[in-house]
Amino acid sequence: MNNTFYFIRHADKLELKDKPVDEWPLSEKGIKQAQEIADSGKFDEIDLIFTSSLERTYQTAKPISDKIRREITKCPEFDELKMGNNHWFGEEFESAIKDCLTHLYTSEHEWETAHNALERFSNKIEEIDKDHDDKKILIVSHNVVINLFFAKLLDKLDHVYERGVLTKDPMYNYIGIVQNDKIIQDIVKK
């Protein structure tokens, strides 16, 4: 195997008060950020691109895909923690996220448990890792699930909420690199 996984979160999203979180696309700022990510050259050597099934991750990966001429594979296993059709904003949303990441095995607010989201995300990474050898693989997903995965690898699941707070600003799209279940680069220095 010996694959190298690069993780980035989607660019800035447009919050639409009349739609569930899962249906929010990139904002104008996010579209520019996605192009800047592609223009940075950091992902020019990528062999495979995977995104969640949500449009904003695909929109984030598309400029990279166009630049390096690689197909994008959408995977629902990389979707954000399932929040149902609830419309969450601001402090109420942040409070709900904190509840979920503080109680990993409990379904807070009728959402998917953080533990379940972590398991589906981790299992898909393992599957991709087994199916390929010596590839550079880009995963474009969401803040909560990527941070759950990194916290698991660091054995710091009890601090996953604090970790997520440090990476939730969309100007920090690039979260890190993993190879052989070891984090070799991490935006969070703590």
Within its chain, how far is the Cα of 64 from the centroid? 16
Determine the pLDDT at residue 38: 96
H or E element in which residue 161 lies: helix 160-167
SS (H, E, C) 69-102: CCCEEECHHHCCCCCCCCCCCHHHHHHHHHHHHH
Domain count, the chain: 1
- Token pair for residue 117? 């989201």
Write down the H helix ranges in 12-159.
28-39, 55-68, 90-102, 114-131, 143-153
76-87 pLDDT tens trace: 999 998 877 665
Amino acid, res. 46: I
CATH no. for residue 48?
3.40.50.1240
This model's pTM is above 0.95: no
What is the per-residue pLDDT for 1? Answer: 64
Q: Write out the residue range of the structural domain in which residue 88 sits.
A: 4-186
Kindly report, residue by residue over 64-73, the tens digit of the pLDDT. Answer: 999 999 999 9
